């Protein structure tokens, strides 16, 4: 009997996908640029209970700097595509800055390879493609931190400052 192979899912700029998080639930990302060397993804300050998108992503800010990612999990379906072709308000890839090498001898560069003096205040990520496990851990940690801040603000607001 012939072995069945799973069909590779074609991905494109504007595809919104769910990222299973180590602590449960899902983070949300969107592909913003695809080229030979780069697969850039934007990540939102949104945690889902299930891989279903009901809110407008544009209502949520970014939670991490744009990352160059390995897209294998999306192409295999492990990071399910929630929506295709969401091209509204894409970050400008030419404005993004990435770092190369470790922090002691770090250089900063743009997508076109141009070296720049520093990383902007909102941060930057590695020029090397990041694997799924790393991205999921970073996203989970950042979303947990935001959730803690949100819970403190809600508690403060409901109890008042005194």
Give 14-32 pLDDT, tens digit per residue. 999 999 999 999 999 999 9
**SS3 assignment, position 23:** coil
b/e string for 63-92 if b means 16 or more Cβ within 10 A?
bbbbbbbbbebbbeeebbbbeeebeeeeee
Confidence at residue 48, expressed as pLDDT on a 0 to 100 scale: 92
Weakly modelled stretches of the chain, pLDDT under 70: 1-5, 102-103, 121-122, 147-162
- Closest by alpha carbon to 63, among 130, 146, 148? 146
Residue whose token pair is 């090498």: 101
Domain ranges of the chain: 16-94+130-159
Confidence at residue 149, expressed as pLDDT on a 0 to 100 scale: 45
Single pTM value for the model: 0.82
The dihedral formed by the CA atoms of 146, 150, 152 and 154, expressed in degrees to the nearest 10: 180
Confidence at residue 120, expressed as pLDDT on a 0 to 100 scale: 78
Taking the C-alpha atoms of residue 19 and residue 98, their distance in angstroms, rounded to an integer, is 22
Confidence at residue 19, expressed as pLDDT on a 0 to 100 scale: 96
């Amino acid at each position: 009997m012939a072995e069945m192979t799973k069909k590779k899912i074609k991905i494109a700029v504007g595809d919104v996908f769910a990222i299973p998080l180590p602590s449960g639930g899902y983070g949300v990302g969107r592909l913003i640029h695809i080229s030979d060397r780069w697969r850039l993804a934007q990540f939102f300050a949104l945690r889902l209970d299930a891989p279903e998108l009901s809110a407008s992503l544009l209502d949520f800010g970014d939670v991490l700097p744009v990352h160059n990612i390995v897209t294998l999990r999306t192409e295999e379906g492990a990071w399910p595509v929630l929506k295709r072709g969401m091209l509204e308000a894409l970050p400008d890839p030419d404005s993004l800055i990435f770092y190369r090498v470790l922090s002691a001898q770090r250089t900063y560069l743009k997508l076109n390879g141009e070296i720049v003096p520093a990383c902007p205040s909102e941060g930057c990520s590695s020029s090397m493609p990041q694997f799924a496990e790393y991205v999921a851990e970073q996203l989970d940690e950042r979303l947990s931190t935001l959730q803690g801040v949100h819970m403190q603000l809600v508690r403060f607001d409901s109890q008042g400052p005194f």
